[in-house]
Amino acid sequence: MKLVKTGIAGLDEFLTGGLPARILLLTGLPGSGNEIFARQIAFLRAKQFGVTYFSVNETPDTIREDMATYNWDTTPLEASGNWKFKTITKTVNLQESIIDEMKQNRTVLLDSLSEVLLSRKIEEVIGLLTAMSTQNKNSENYHMLLLTDGMQDSKAETIMQHFAEGVIVFSSTWTTDTVRTDMLIKKMKGLFVPARRLPYTISKKGFLIETATRIS
With a cut of 80, say whether residue 176 has pLDDT above it.
Answer: no
Residue 211 is predicted with a pLDDT of 61
Q: In Å, how far are 27, 53, 72, 117, 129 from 157, measured between CA atoms?
A: 9, 22, 30, 10, 13
Superfamily of domain 20-215: P-loop containing nucleotide triphosphate hydrolases (3.40.50.300)
Q: What is the pTM of this model?
A: 0.94
Q: Which long-range contacts (CB under 8 A, 24 or more apart) does 71-75 make?
A: 71/204, 71/205, 72/39, 72/40, 72/43, 72/206, 74/43, 74/46
Q: What is the pLDDT of residues 202-211, one digit of tens each?
A: 999 899 998 6
Averaged pLDDT score across all residues of the chain: 93
End-to-end CA distance of the chain: 22
Q: How confident is the model at residue 201 (pLDDT cuts 50, 70, 90)?
A: very high
State whether residue 68 is helix, strand or coil. Answer: helix
Are 50 and 82 a contacting pair, CB within 8 Å? yes
- By DSSP bridging, strand 143-148 and strand 107-111 are parallel
Q: What is the DSSP letter of 211?
A: -
Cis-peptide into 112, omega within 30 deg = yes
